[in-house]
Amino acid sequence: MSRAGGRTDRAARRAERSGSGPVRSGAAPARFPGATSAFGLLGEVLLVGVLVALVSIPVVTLPAALAAGVRHLRRYLLAEDSRLGMFWSDLRAGLVGGIGVGAASVVLVLVLLLDIDLANSGALPGGPVVAAVGWLGLAAVALALFTAAGLWTPRLGWLGALRAAPRSVTGDPVGAAYLVASAVFAVVVTWQLFPLIVPALGCVALAIVAVPERPRRRGRGDTGADGGGRDERGAETSDGAE
């Protein structure tokens, strides 16, 4: 290949990766064409973290804020229209029912934390068992909240997202473990330095988007338990257009 031809090929590759040029013949399109710039993705994750943190100040609005942030990041990664106006539109739709989900989550978390505190104080018989159940309960609440936030669309609603969450979790237990790990990460970094809650929430939103889309092996009889989740998430483009 000549030097000029090599330069042309490299320029075509760069244009393909950045999305500014066409996909070359025989080359597979990028899976996430919006994530070609690492710094651009970092900035978008931080932006989502700021938005989710601000909207979540009342605490009970966290599910709606997280769902809107997840949808915004998903549109950005797919190189779709990701204007901030669409985030606020999703947020307004998500507050309907999302506040109830948030309130129920807060009550459950407070009850579980109280159980853990009583178990550690020695006031309850079988304290270690009660504490272990409490920690597992907290992990289950976080997993349910993150999964539902990832499945939520204006068309599906919170009730539909919560109904679909068990199927999504059982269809991908490793992914569920990743989401629990992201919750632990967010809690630990926030406990160490409270302002880190902003990037932590952005990272949680990114994990909710990325974990179901990661490459993984499928069994011979696997029909794609998470296929329903992808279908629901795939409906977001039309929802956003509406």
pLDDT along the chain (242 residues), means of 10: 56 54 54 72 94 96 97 90 91 95 96 92 82 95 97 95 95 95 96 95 96 73 43 46 41
Return the ∠ at Cα 141 (arms to 149 and 128), rounded to 5°: 160
Confidence (pLDDT) at 241: 41
This model's pTM is above 0.95: no
Centroid of chain to Cα 64: 12
- What ranges in the chain are assigned the alpha helix state H? 3-18, 38-55, 62-77, 84-121, 127-151, 157-171, 173-192, 197-210, 227-234, 236-241
Look up residue 235 and give its two tokens: 């409906």
Confidence (pLDDT) at 114: 93
Return the ∠ at Cα 41 (arms to 98 and 209), rounded to 5°: 40
In whole angstroms, give the CA distance from residue 240 to residue 231.
15
